[in-house]
Structure 1
Amino acid sequence: MYLADRSAPAGAKGAPDRGPARTPAVASAVLALGTVSLITDISSEMVTAVLPLYLVAGLGLSPLGFGALDGVYNGVSALVQLTGGHLADRVRNHKLIAGIGYGLSALCKPLLLLAHSLGPVGVVLALERTGKGLRTAPRDALISLSTPAGLQGRAFGVHRAMDTTGALLGPLAAFLILSVAVDGYDAVFGVSACVAVLGVVVLVLFVPGTSGPAGSARPARPAGPPVPADTAPADTAPAGPAAPAVGVREALALLRLPRLRALAGCAALLGLTTVSDAFVYLLLQRRTGIAEQWFPLLPLGTAAVFLLLAVPAGALADRIGRRTVFLAGHALLLTGYGLLLWAPGRPALPFLVLALHGMFYAATDGVLPAAVGAIVPRELRATGLALVGTGQALARFGCSLAFGAAWTFWGTGPALCAAAAGLLCSAAVAACVLRPAHPPHPPHPTQSPRGTR
């Protein structure tokens, strides 16, 4: 089923022919938020690139201990996402809540210079992830609310591409700092703090102060080819001077939307079998024997592919359907797991695994919020994004704990084999649950609606 906008037919009498209205492919708010994410990701990925090696080799953590800490690193932000999304919708100021989140993360970076054991490091990382949780849903809501429905995938792809540029530059900066600095890890943490402050400054000065549904204009749908049904807009907020107040009851009412429940459930199910990036890089290093000084460069492979394919994958999702691209991304991830398990340890193995890892993120990271934006009303956009993001992140938190325990007690091979088998089953279930509903067949031309001639 396809939807087209026929509200303003071309060639209407009495109107001058000025050509079709031009809608920017990417809103200025998306570019500004992309710049903030680029700078912030340089800061975050500088720390993320060295953190696994710092904790395992420097502080002597076991895989189980690292799995617990990695789970905290991702799980805390998941729990806070709901708070950030609901607050942004309630106060109708997404930029304010996003700015608080970016600021909190920036304040935590210098504290890593003072933390040299598992407990303090865990507390600092939990606070930093709290900031990430606060900002994620309001930021994505700003992107969604400033973009026409038919271009959501492209807009999120552009943002994720800029975000990934930071993810590409962060590990490179960490590698260069470790190469020249005496106290390499402390130097990485210090530079990361300075870059994070710059990201907050750019947010305050250049991101438009777009509010929620009462303070932002509803974007016009651009003219163009029809889009698949799963990309149809869900901007169901009634026209009027003000939107109703958003409370907990209205937020919980989102769970009554069948399509949102299905999407959130499938995202969580797939997250339960998605091994965290840090474990993928540790597995790849142990499988191929990559030297420790080259370890911070491994995320560059994932980030480079993600950067190249994020926009094309988003545009493709707008054209053929987000469900198809989303499931294809998990099939690529499953292929990467298979290579880690059974492919011979040739020099090309790291490049193939990292390429598949980046393709997975390009096909899923921006496509999922674009799909949510097509389902959730404008006045609850941040809350809906937070619901789905929280479920997925909590599932990945559980996966980190389970995979770290399986690695400790069974070894790397059985642990990854179990994750691959679980991902295969989860993808099969998601393919069935997310299957688009087919419209009823129209009656035959020679047949009446009741089936009589």
Structure 2
Amino acid sequence: MQTISKTVLVLSLVSLFTDIASEMLYPILPIYLRSIGYSILYIGFLEGVAEVVAGYSKGYFGNLSDLKGKRVPFVQMGYALSAFSKPLLAISQIPIVVFFARTLDRLGKGVRTGARDAILANEATATSKAQVFGFHRSLDTLGAVLGPSVALIYLYLYPNQYIVLFYLAFLPGLVSIGLTFLLREKEFQIIKNEKKPSVLSFVSIWKDASLDYRKLVVGLLVFAFWNSSDVFLILKAKELGLNDPSVIGIYIFYNLVYAIFAYPLGIVADKIGLKTMFLLGLTLFALVYIMMGWMDDTNYLWVAFFFYGIYASATEGISKAWISNLVHKNQVGSAIGFYTALQSVATFFASLVAGWIWFQFGAPVTFFVTGAFAILVLVYFLVVPISEAPNT
């Protein structure tokens, strides 16, 4: 089996075009909603509900793909839902329509995530898991470079013309839908389950999976609970004096570093070990947050975002590759779905906690506290033995 198969390439291109569409709108959506009269409170509520929907659906549909013995239909439906949510935001400014469109986008992410990652895991060998997931993350994150760049150029040429941008974002979404029809289903053994699937069936993976899986997920979720939204890094950059174009520029720079290094670091991880690479990434995360806590000018800001991009490259795909190694291949959708579902909820609460700490004690304390907890998680992974060996 070649390392990067046709299926991996197609899935990576699908993610690339989907992310171009999503990231064209991500930095613009709050500005657009504010321009048409929506309050910060409503925008926060909207994003919070959207993340909860995405989190739950990752668990439910990941498990359902295992139980049905199918992956491709969930991938196709998930990317289609996200694509068709984009023009809905332009069609109407009525709150319920905006709410439905944003929720539909996050639901699409939830429907596809577990099944897509299970396909990636199945396309890899025991010695190429990190490389395959890293390649996918590279192209996926490249979309987070191209999308905001397109939006920045468009709004420079046509200031405040937001509506057309929502329609433009639909075009790469259509490309991603078309590419999903190049995927072919591969048969795998269905999980035998006497009970009818329920809304919480996916939590059964916790008792069915290995002890190593549970120890890994505990560490990842404790970290997720203190790993707040990247919005706080952006707010810190703004607080230090960057203007709006520079803020968008540093966000693009971070994603570019992430996209460039995810694949090569995946190759290295397969050689030196997934745990070793993950710990290196976690160390960089703690370093960046402590740097941001001390920082009082912009001199080292780009250095911090460079290391933050390396951290993401060394952990995001690696953690999923590691999880997929610790469960049977007919449980990968449930295993990754369970983790990513709770990760979404944890990130939501992490952002609430970070926002409260920032409000009460200021930005430096927010970053120092997060960095300190990252160090504690690092110690957990150093002390607790967790296997990396594939469980077939």
State the TM-score, normalized to the length of structure 2: 0.89
Structure 2 letter corresponding to 1:325: M
Q: Residue 91 of structure 1 aligns with which residue?
A: 68
Please state if 1:149 is matched with 2:101. no
Q: 2:31 and 2:19 mapped to 1: Cα distance?
A: 19
Structure 2 letter corresponding to 1:354: F
Please state if 1:339 is matched with 2:307. no
Please state if 1:270 is matched with 2:217. no
CA RMSD across the alignment: 2.5
Q: Deviations over 1:197-243 (max 9, x none)?
A: 22111112x22x223414xxxxxxxxxxxxxxxxxxxxxxxxxxxx5
Structure 1 letter corresponding to 2:192: A
Could you say what secondary structure the match of 2:186 adopts?
coil
Q: 1:417 deviation in Å?
A: 2.8
Structure 1 letter corresponding to 2:27: A
Q: 1:335 to 1:381 in 2, by over 3 A?
A: same
Q: Mapping of 1:211-360 within 5 angstroms? A: 211-214=186-189, 243-246=190-193, 252-256=204-208, 257-287=210-240, 289-347=241-299, 349-360=300-311
Q: Residue 10 of structure 2 aligns with which residue?
A: 32
Could you say what secondary structure the match of 2:226 adopts?
coil
Q: Mapping of 1:364-403 within 5 angstroms? A: 364-403=315-354
Q: 1:341 and 1:120 mapped to 2: Cα distance?
A: 39
Q: 1:341 deviation in Å?
A: 1.4
Could you say what secondary structure the match of 2:124 adopts?
coil
Q: 1:341 and 1:60 mapped to 2: Cα distance?
A: 32
Contact 1:71–1:401 (CA<8 Å) still a contact in 2? no
Could you say what secondary structure the match of 2:249 adopts?
helix
Q: 1:164 deviation in Å?
A: 1.4
Q: 1:57 and 1:265 mapped to 2: Cα distance?
A: 41
Contact 2:202–2:334 (CA<8 Å) still a contact in 1? no
Q: Residue 177 of structure 1 aligns with which residue?
A: 154
**Contiguous gaps of at least 5 residues in structure 2:** none
Q: Residue 185 of structure 2 aligns with which residue?
A: 210
Q: 2:8 and 2:245 mapped to 1: Cα distance?
A: 36
Q: 1:57 to 1:356 in 2, by over 3 A?
A: farther
Q: 1:193 to 1:252 in 2, by over 3 A?
A: same
Deviates more, 1:411-420 or 1:157-166: 411-420
Q: 1:373 to 1:400 in 2, by over 3 A?
A: same
Q: Residue 128 of structure 1 aligns with which residue?
A: 105
Q: 1:67 to 1:426 in 2, by over 3 A?
A: farther
Structure 2 letter corresponding to 1:173: V
Structure 1 letter corresponding to 2:7: A
Q: Residue 355 of structure 2 aligns with which residue?
A: 404
Q: 2:237 and 2:252 mapped to 1: Cα distance?
A: 14
Q: Residue 444 of structure 1 aligns with which residue?
A: none
**Contiguous gaps of at least 5 residues in structure 1:** 1-22, 215-242, 438-453
Larger Rg computed on CA atoms: 1
Deviates more, 1:94-103 or 1:74-83: 74-83
Q: 1:33 and 1:300 mapped to 2: Cα distance?
A: 23
Q: 1:250 and 1:408 mapped to 2: Cα distance?
A: 36
Contact 2:293–2:365 (CA<8 Å) still a contact in 1? no
Q: Residue 429 of structure 1 aligns with which residue?
A: 380
Q: Residue 20 of structure 1 aligns with which residue?
A: none
Q: 1:359 to 1:122 in 2, by over 3 A?
A: farther
Q: How many residues align?
A: 382
Structure 2 letter corresponding to 1:320: I
Q: 1:55 to 1:334 in 2, by over 3 A?
A: farther
Contact 1:284–1:340 (CA<8 Å) still a contact in 2? no
- Give the percent of matched residue pairs that are identical in Structure 1 and Structure 2: 26
Could you say what secondary structure the match of 1:298 adopts?
helix
Contact 1:268–1:394 (CA<8 Å) still a contact in 2? no
Structure 1 letter corresponding to 2:228: V
Contact 1:336–1:356 (CA<8 Å) still a contact in 2? yes
